[in-house]
Amino acid sequence: MSIELRIPAVGESITEVEIGGWLKGQGERVRKDEPVVTLESEKATVELPAPESGTLSRILKEKGEVAKVGEVIAYMDKDGEAEAAAGPAEPRLAEAPAEERPASAPPAVMPEAQGAVAEQGLRLEEIKPTGPGGRLPRDDVLRQVEQSRGQPPAAAAPVSQAVVPPPARARSGPAPAREEETVPMSRLRRTVAERLVEAQHTAALLTTFNEIDMSSTIALRKEYGESFQGKYKVKLGFMSFFVKACVDALKQFPALNAEVRGTNIVYHNYYDIGVAVGSAKGLVVPVLRNAEHLSFAEIERAIGDFARRARENKLKLHELEGGTFTISNGGVYGSLLSTPIVNPPQSGVLGMHAIQERPVAREANVVIRPMMYVALTYDHRIVDGREAVWCLKRIKEAIENPARLLMEV
C-alpha cells in the first residue's frame, strides 16, 4: 500500500506552499524522518520528512509548483513492498561499478544530479564523473557548467588603433557572450517584497540618526569576554547589549513598542524583539520572546541558534511570527549607514552599522574612538519625532554606559 506525502499545516493563515526542491529523487530510498522535500511558505522554508522508511515511488509536484495544505504531492512504497510487487530486478547499468560498464556507456547519474543535467542541457558523455563507483554527482554537473562558461572566446582579429573604430562588418571572431538568467522569486522573497512595499505605502515612515561611542562596551567585552564564554559556553557579542538597551528604551517610550490596529493603538506590555539574520533564502526575522526576562547569555545563545538554523533552513514558523520591535545589524556586512524599513505592523526598527575608528571631540581634544552610526525608523502615525529622537538617545546612553543597564537608571 502506497504512503501519501501530503502538505502539512505549516502556519496560521497559510493555505498553500511552493515546492522548493526535492531532496530525494524518484526511485530513491528514504529513511523514516529523513527530509524528502523543502516547502516554501510566505514566512519560511520547511522540510517535509518521510513518515516511514521506503522508496519514493512517484512525484506529483515538481519544484516551483504550488500545492495546497492537505494536497498529496508524492507517493512512497514501504520497504519490501516495491520489491515484492516488481519481482526479481535485473541489474541496472547505472548501478554497476565503473570498471564493469562498457566504455561507451554514460556515467551513472545520482538522483540529485538528474535535474541539473536536464536544466543545463548537457550530454552525460561530456562530463567526467568523480563519485563513488564512477557515479555522477550534482557537483560534477555544476563544475562542467562553470568550465563551459569560463572558456575564452576564439581569438579575434586585431582591432584598428584608429580613434574611430571600424564598422562592425570589418571585425572578425565571435561576439562577447551576453547571457541572461531568469530565476523565479521564491515565495519567501515575494512575501518580503510585498511586506516592505506595504510598509512604505501604509505607514508614515521617518528615520532619525545618531552615533554611539562603543569604547565602554568594547572594554567591558574585553574584560569579561573570556570568563563569560567559559561560564556560559557562548561568546559575549554586541547584540545582547543592544537588545537590553532597546528593551530599556521601549519601556520609556512605549509607542515604539506598539502597533496601529484599525483606528486603535495597541500598546504591548511585553517585549518580543525580532532579530534580523541572513539565510540562503534571504533575510528572516526570528523573535526573542519576552526579551525583558532574558539574561545576556540567554540572548546570545538564542541569537546564535537562530543564525545557525537560518543557514540550515530549520527555523520554525512560530519563531518568525509576531514581534513588537526589530533590530537589524547591517554592520556585519560592512554597512556604514542605512535607513531600515519597519516590519509591519510594528512601529519601530533599529539599524546597527559597522564600527569604525573616527576622530571625535572630547573635552576640547580630538581623539580617536570606535564609533557606530545607528538609525531608528518609526511610524510617524503613532510616534512623534521627539519620542523617536529621545528613544534613540536613550539607546545610545545605555550602550555608552552599559552599567546603567544593570542599575536600571
- CATH 3.30.559.10 given to domain 188-407: yes
Contact assessment for residue 245 and residue 395, using Cβ atoms and an 8 Å cutoff: yes
Residue with cell 546603567: 404
Give CA–CA dist 214/228, Å, rounded: 19
CATH 4.10.320: which residues of the chain? 93-145
Fold of 2-86: OB fold (Dihydrolipoamide Acetyltransferase, E2P) (2.40.50)
Cα distances (angstroms) measured from residue 218 to each of 14, 337, 355? 43, 20, 11
For the chain, list residues with pLDDT below 50: 83-104, 152-164
String of DSSP letters for 41-75: -SS-EEEEE-SSSEEEEEE-S-TT-EEETT-EEEE
Could you give the residue numbers annotated as active site?
Answer: 380, 384
pLDDT of residue 11: 66
Residue 122: predicted pLDDT: 64
* CATH 3.30.559.10 domain span(s) along the chain: 188-407
Residue 315 class from Cβ within 10 Å (0-12 exposed, 13-18 middle, 19+ buried)?
Answer: buried
Pairing of strands 273-275, 325-329: parallel
Phi-psi region of 94 (alpha: psi -120 to 50; beta: other; left: phi over 0): alpha
Residue ranges, comma separated, of all CATH 2.40.50.100 domains in the chain are: 2-86
Instruction: Give the model's pLDDT for residue 293.
Output: 96
State the pLDDT at residue 284: 85
Q: Which CATH architecture has domain 93-145?
A: Irregular (4.10)
The predicted-structure confidence for 40-95, as pLDDT tens digits, reads as follows 877 677 888 999 999 999 999 998 888 888 899 999 998 765 544 444 444 444 44
